[in-house]
Amino acid sequence: MGRARLARLHGIATSYAPSPGKSVQTADDTVVAVLAALGVDASTPHAVRTALAAYEDGAGRALLPRTVVARPDRPPDLTGLPEGTVLRVETEGGGTADLGAPDPAALTRLPLGIHVLEARTPGGRTARAPLIVAPDRVPAPPGRSHGFLVQLYSLLSRRSWGMGDLGDLADLAAWSGRALGTGFVQLNPLHAAVPGPPTDPSPYRPSSRRFPDPVHLRIEHIPEYADLAGTARLRADELAARAHALRSEVLEGGALIDRDAVWALKREALELLWAVPLSPGRRAAYCDFLAEQGQALEDHATWCAIAERHGPDWRGWPDGLRDPRSPGTARLRHRLLDRIDFHCRLAWLTDQQLAAAQRAARDAGMAIGLVHDLAVGVHPSGADTWAQQDAFAAGMSIGAPPDAFNARGQDWGLPPWRPDALAAAGYAPYRELLRGLLRHAGALRIDHVMGLFRLWWVPEGRPPTEGAYVRYDGEAMLSVLALEAQRAGAAVIGEDLGTVEPGVRDALAARGVLGTSVLWFERDYGGGERDAAPRAEAADAAEAAEASDGPGAARAPEAVSDGSATGPAGEGVAAREAAPGPGAAARILAPGEWRSGCLATVTTHDLPTTAARLTGADVALRERLGLLTGPPDRERSRATYELAEWMGELVRRGLLPEGQGDEEAAVKGVHRFLLRTPARMVGVWLPDAVGDRRPQNLPGTWDEYPNWRLPIAGPDGRPHTLEELAASPRLHALMRELSDGYR
């Protein structure tokens, strides 16, 4: 009982429900391991008693919580303060406010921001805590809009250096906003990757979420490029010629996108540009950026510089360098000042081009512009975990528990944030992360948004079945999100596919966070409360698709718990296997039954393209790779039945006037269906617009399929450049449906 109580005090669940009506107790040794990761020894009865006593003497007697949260009409609970206590607030702007006797409502009337609350008792005890005063809601999207969803690396133009870049993004935004009336472009995470070779191509397993990756830079758009002269100019021209050849191999030679080859060329070009003196105005802007980013950027650049010497896994560095604040690191930092400056410069240049892309979007009339994506975690050996070691739980990985579709659970290989460390720091790491991502965004998508409330922690060396849920302060996490989103004037989209605990979707909606609704999963599963399971059977598909080394990412073979669950489930196969036979499947939700607070799409990066579903190419691909969970005939039969069911639905609603059997018409039809829903945002997967058959990511595969390395292509597999996309009759015909739908 003592250990269970200790677990509850630290937000650790001692049981979980793998399916409705079933409860599984968390193993004692798992509870001990998770408590240890939170700095609590519970290994023996004596240790448990000691830890409970320490909690009562510490957190149990604390005058104030680690962080106090207030928002309009929701004052904090300060009822535990002794009579006669007085409060004082140091505001974010540098002022002070003496509140006198505790009046929680007075805290809600303070300016929005991050303040410091001080409590002083008549007996002389004092306590200080960060005070977050947040708005009730994040900003709403400005009206209904439609836009593209795209993996940036896959979008090559005739100017790209082997993969899509920020110049291509700006061009896509400028063209689609002006010519097609789109309101946004949603991207994959642009976070900094752990350098290779080989570099993990997944954008969902980054080294750092705080800074973007300079591999996305358009070299020719850097102002210093025009100032290259002499041998530097000749070398830059040689690099550009090699980049042209690399691009041609992808677009015309059938080669895969090679991030490492692209980075090798860009890195050398950036070394040449770094040697070009900045103009006075550019130097001043760079210095302002350094001052604004402060210690976070210095740490990131230092990690990059040390990684050049000792490799990208800081856990294997010499002892003196594993601590970013050690004397050894300080000495090496001094010796590596030039390399640190180089990496700081790259962060600045990338930030500038991100700003330019958002300006291009807004100048083109987009109400939202860029929608950036926040991955759920970071690589255990990357820059963020090195710089913020106290904020991460050592020896833990996040994932998903066993459920009806995956008896082995999932381990994503990503270390979790410690909820106690976040609270003690006033959520500073989280605030800084959001602030950086929202600098040049009209909206932010949060991958696995349920992680703001709880995450499944798996102790290192144990299977994901032996994990435990650890709870985060959802009120605080949402309040920080609302504050930073309001400061940036940005909307927020939560990826809430999969099993979602009751109440979470309601809590997100109450704060104005949009959900994610995928056409194929929107059915009435008879679960009653929408939180409980309306998308669970098929949407656990998307949840499982997030398995691999992090949500949305491909997994190494040793990380895959079960091909039948983690691979095929990513495209709804778990649902097909679990669903009843023809004639008894869950009812397709009518457009009017969809929620308005969502981004509605037909498909995502982890699911088959629409053309693949319509033609059966998705089942054929999984059969070829041995990923089917049942006999091929049964799989094909289920897919055929579901497709016929959807086509019949479109015909009944008058959304397929061209009749059945026309692939392009069917693609239009499912998007016409989305337009009938009240969804605030409708997203078009850009490859769908030209009939691409290939998914960008096939969960459950590693070397078997080229995840995250494919350019956008047409039905025949021939890559399409941005210029060809802009001239595509098929794309224009589809997008006219959406623009006409808003008139």
- Which of 16-30, 190-204, 335-349 is the most confident on average? 335-349
Pairing relation of β-strands 113-120 and 587-588?
A: unpaired
Q: For a pLDDT cut of 90, what percent of the chain falls above it?
A: 84
Q: Does the pLDDT of residue 548 top 80, yes or no?
A: no
> Residue 346 is encoded by which pair of tokens?
């790259």
Q: What integer is the mean pLDDT of 383-389?
A: 98
Q: What integer is the mean pLDDT of 604-610?
A: 96
Mean pLDDT of the chain: 91
Q: Which has the higher per-residue pLDDT, 405 or 217?
A: 217
Cα separation, 666 vs 538, whole angstroms: 21
* Contact criterion met (CB below 8 Å) for 286 and 278: yes
Cα separation, 309 vs 616, whole angstroms: 49
Q: Over the stretch 18-53, which tens digit does the pLDDT of each residue have? A: 887 889 999 999 999 999 999 999 999 999 999 999
Cα separation, 184 vs 170, whole angstroms: 12
pLDDT-derived band at 284 (thresholds 50, 70, 90) equals very high
Q: What is the pTM of this model?
A: 0.93
Residue carrying structure tokens 């700006």? 170
Q: Which has the higher per-residue pLDDT, 402 or 158?
A: 158
DSSP per position, 590-640: PGGGS-SSEEEES--TTS--HHHHHHTHHHHHHHHTT--SS-HHHHHHHHH
Q: Over the stretch 342-360, which tens digit does the pLDDT of each residue have? A: 999 999 999 999 999 999 9
pLDDT at 733: 97
Q: Over the stretch 46-72, which tens digit does the pLDDT of each residue have? A: 999 999 999 998 887 899 999 999 999
Q: Over the stretch 166-176, which tens digit does the pLDDT of each residue have? A: 999 999 999 99
pLDDT at 399: 95
pLDDT-derived band at 743 (thresholds 50, 70, 90) equals low
pLDDT at 583: 39
> Residue 127 is encoded by which pair of tokens?
């306590």
DSSP designation for 269 = H
Among the ranges given (149-163, 268-282, 371-385, 532-546), the one the predictor scored with the smallest mean pLDDT: 532-546
pLDDT at 577: 31
> Residue 224 is encoded by which pair of tokens?
């210093």
pLDDT-derived band at 311 (thresholds 50, 70, 90) equals very high
Q: What integer is the mean pLDDT of 465-489?
A: 98
pLDDT at 552: 45
Strand partners, 86: 120
How many Cα neighbours within 13 Å face the side chain of 693?
A: 15
Q: For a pLDDT cut of 70, what percent of the chain falls above it?
A: 92
Q: Which amino acid is at 324?
A: P
Q: Which has the higher per-residue pLDDT, 237 or 739?
A: 237
Q: What integer is the mean pLDDT of 117-130?
A: 94
pLDDT-derived band at 585 (thresholds 50, 70, 90) equals low
pLDDT at 59: 81
Sheet with 113-120: list strands edge to edge. Answer: 68-70, 126-133, 113-120, 86-90, 96-100
Among the ranges given (214-218, 403-407, 421-425, 601-605), the one the predictor scored with the smallest mean pLDDT: 403-407
Cα separation, 194 vs 300, whole angstroms: 12
Q: Phi-psi bin for 633: left (phi > 0), alpha (psi -120 to 50), beta? A: alpha
Q: Phi-psi bin for 103: left (phi > 0), alpha (psi -120 to 50), beta? A: beta
pLDDT at 527: 52
- Residues with Cβ within 8 Å of 470's Cβ and at least 6 positions away in sequence, in order, are 11, 12, 13, 34, 416, 419, 454, 455, 456, 457
Q: What integer is the mean pLDDT of 571-590?
A: 51
pLDDT at 536: 36
pLDDT-derived band at 525 (thresholds 50, 70, 90) equals confident
Question: Exposure string (b/e) for 457-485, b if CB count within 10 Å is 16 or more?
Answer: bbbeeeebbbbbbbebbbbbbbbbbbbbb
Strand partners, 504: none
Cα separation, 261 vs 153, whole angstroms: 13
pLDDT at 45: 95
* Contact criterion met (CB below 8 Å) for 559 and 411: yes
Q: Does the pLDDT of residue 236 top 50, yes or no?
A: yes
- Residues with Cβ within 8 Å of 538's Cβ and at least 6 positions away in sequence, in order, are 520, 521, 523, 572, 574, 575, 579
Q: Which has the higher per-residue pLDDT, 573 or 513?
A: 513
- The answer, yes or no, to whether the previous bond of 122 is cis (omega within 30 of 0) is no
Q: Over the stretch 665-720, which tens digit does the pLDDT of each residue have? A: 999 999 999 999 999 999 999 999 999 999 999 988 888 999 999 999 999 999 99
Q: Does the pLDDT of residue 260 top 90, yes or no?
A: yes
* Selection from 13, 58, 11 nearest residue 38 by Cα: 11
Q: Does the pLDDT of residue 532 top 50, yes or no?
A: no
Q: What integer is the mean pLDDT of 194-201?
A: 91
pLDDT at 529: 39
Q: What share of residues in the chain are helix, strand, coil (percent, to 5)?
A: 45, 15, 40
* Selection from 407, 381, 406, 410 nearest residue 394 by Cα: 381
Q: What integer is the mean pLDDT of 547-554?
A: 39
DSSP per position, 41-67: --SSHHHHHHHHHHHHHTGGG-SS-SS
